[in-house]
């Protein structure tokens, strides 16, 4: 039987790019260095992307233990539309060092629900203009390269 160890690394940022926190859920009580940055432990569960039946929205969620600190941080993240980067990493089963990236996802905190046991932060796609604010970006040539000037595009 093969053991596969997976750790989720999350990075929280405010819309102006200020770091609000970095966390991992793989090693209790210590931090893991990933991409030369320390990620302290935070007990959370990341539920990967799900789509609605209509295909109009992709969502995900982070679940944390309910306490005053986690509720305050989660509500601030939703109120100010923090961006959340989620890295799912395959870890070496014996040394527990990062070996390979499985996925890299970008989200915006868009909703919160909680009860006496858990806080759940709803995450929406950063380009979902209905469920959350769309990022303030314009399609410019310096970002993406040459852009068409007409609607006539031909494939040679």
Which DSSP string do the residues of 87-119 spell out, in sequence order?
EEEEE-TTT--EEEEEEEEEEEEEEEEE-SSEE
Asked, for residue 82, whether it belongs to a domain, the answer is: yes
- Check which CATH number belongs to the domain holding 140 and give it: 2.30.110
Structure tokens at 96: 């527990």
Query: What span, in angstroms and rounded, lies between the C-alpha atoms of 156 and 149?
Result: 17
Asked, for residue 48, whether it belongs to a domain, the answer is: yes
Asked, for residue 151, whether it belongs to a domain, the answer is: no
Asked, for residue 153, whether it belongs to a domain, the answer is: no
pLDDT tier at 132 (50, 70, 90 boundaries)? very low
Number of domain units in the chain: 1
Pairing of strands 118-125, 98-114: antiparallel
pLDDT digits (tens, 9 = 90+) for 1-39: 677 899 999 999 998 889 999 999 999 989 999 999 999
List alpha helices for the chain, DSSP H. 68-79, 141-144
Which of 93, 89, 111, 113 has its CA nearest to residue 101? 89
Domain that holds residue 82: 5-144
Asked, for residue 154, whether it belongs to a domain, the answer is: no
pLDDT digits (tens, 9 = 90+) for 49-104: 766 666 566 788 999 999 998 899 999 999 999 999 999 999 998 888 999 999 99
| Those residues with Cβ within 8 angstroms of residue 68's Cβ, 6 or more apart along the chain or in another chain | none
Q: Which residue has the higher pLDDT, 67 or 144?
A: 67
Dihedral angle sign, alpha carbons of residues 93, 9, 124, 56: negative
């Amino acid at each position: 039987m093969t053991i596969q160890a997976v750790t989720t690394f999350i990075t929280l940022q405010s819309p102006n790019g200020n770091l609000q926190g970095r966390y991992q859920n793989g090693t209790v009580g210590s931090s893991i260095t990933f991409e030369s940055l320390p990620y302290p432990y935070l007990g959370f569960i990341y539920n990967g992307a799900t789509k609605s039946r209509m295909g109009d929205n992709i969502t995900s969620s982070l679940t944390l233990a309910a306490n005053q600190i986690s509720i305050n941080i989660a509500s601030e993240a939703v109120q100010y539309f923090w961006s959340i980067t989620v890295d799912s990493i395959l870890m070496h089963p014996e040394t527990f060092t990062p070996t390979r990236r499985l996925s890299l996802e970008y989200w915006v905190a868009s909703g919160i629900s909680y009860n006496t046991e858990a806080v759940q932060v709803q995450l929406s796609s950063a380009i979902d203009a209905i469920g959350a604010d769309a990022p303030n970006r314009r399609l410019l040539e310096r970002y993406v390269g040459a852009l068409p000037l007409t609607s006539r595009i031909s494939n040679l």
